[in-house]
Amino acid sequence: MKIGIMQPYLFPYLGYFQLIHAVDVFVIYDDVQYRKKGWINRNRILLNHDALLFTFGVKRESRTKHINQRSYSKDTFHSTKERFLKTLFHSYHDAPYFNEVHEVIIDILHYEDRNISKFNTNCLRKLCDYIHIDTPFVLSSSLERTKGLNAEDAVVEINQILGGHCYINAIGGMKLYSPGKFEENGIELKFLKMDEITYYQFDGQFIPDLSIIDILMFNSRGEIDQLLNNYELLQNYSVYTE
């Protein structure tokens, strides 16, 4: 069984969905500490031929709380949502798939629970439904896990609990894990590296690394299905340590 593990990002990039698509079970890593300036509550979209960072405010609470213990700010969520939808319209109303994608985004933003884990997991489920990814999700907070493990041992344990024989991680985590630790526990370690992709974005220079929203606006579901498979799985550790 192939396992993928990621924190619950908000409207994440294509590679996040490639990982979900590549595994048999996808774990929402929600019982780890929430950190500012990550991708839990923000992402980037296209605006006037440039990348625009959007952010949904998080309620101020203890920094030691886990993601599944944090919530979006009820005081600012509605105004942020309305401003975000207006920005989306301004940026993408002429995009070929705006109408149908806009409906999906509105549905996501109308989800009433402001708990970050629940809200973002619902966001991921809705987006996966739209692009026909049926990989089952498991919340790490729902598993009987050993407390106090380091990051690598925690990931190994999650794979063992779920019966995973292959762990696939995003390429950005390649410096975090050693193949030896996984091999000695009977787990194959691989890293997903996105191919370089381009697609039509109005008439400007292509802006990469945006939210999945951008890809949905400009590509049909058939084209997205092809993009989901545009990656390489790296297995030889020397490939990415040289």
Does the structure show a pLDDT above 90 at 72?
A: yes
Q: What is the mean pLDDT of residues 85-103?
A: 98
Our count of domains for the chain comes to: 1
Q: What is the mean pLDDT of residues 61-71?
A: 95
Q: Is 20 part of a structural domain of the chain? A: yes
> What pLDDT digit, counting tens, does each position of 107-132 carry?
999 999 999 999 999 999 999 999 99
Determine the pLDDT at residue 238: 47
Determine the pLDDT at residue 239: 44
- DSSP at 204: S
Q: Is 40 part of a structural domain of the chain? A: yes
The two structure tokens encoding residue 78: 């509605």
Cα gap 159→175, rounded to integer Å: 19
> What pLDDT digit, counting tens, does each position of 140-189 carry?
999 999 998 999 999 999 999 999 999 999 998 888 888 889 999 999 99
> What pLDDT digit, counting tens, does each position of 2-36 carry?
999 999 999 999 999 999 999 999 999 999 999 98
User: In percent, how much of the chain has pLDDT > 70?
Assistant: 97
Of 197, 9, 224, 211, the closest CA to residue 91 belongs to 211
Q: Is 241 part of a structural domain of the chain? A: no
Determine the pLDDT at residue 237: 56
Task: Label residue 236 by pLDDT band (50, 70, 90).
Answer: low
Query: For residue 168, what are the domain limits?
Result: 2-235
The two structure tokens encoding residue 123: 């966001």
Q: Is 141 part of a structural domain of the chain? A: yes
Determine the pLDDT at residue 45: 99
Determine the pLDDT at residue 235: 86
The two structure tokens encoding residue 189: 């370690």
Does the structure show a pLDDT above 50 at 190?
A: yes
Q: Is 122 part of a structural domain of the chain? A: yes
User: In percent, how much of the chain has pLDDT > 90?
Assistant: 89
Determine the pLDDT at residue 91: 97
Q: What is the pTM of this model?
A: 0.95
Determine the pLDDT at residue 175: 82
Q: What is the mean pLDDT of residues 59-72?
A: 95
Strands (DSSP E) found in the chain: 2-6, 25-28, 42-47, 50-55, 137-139, 166-170, 188-194, 231-234
Q: Is 242 part of a structural domain of the chain? A: no
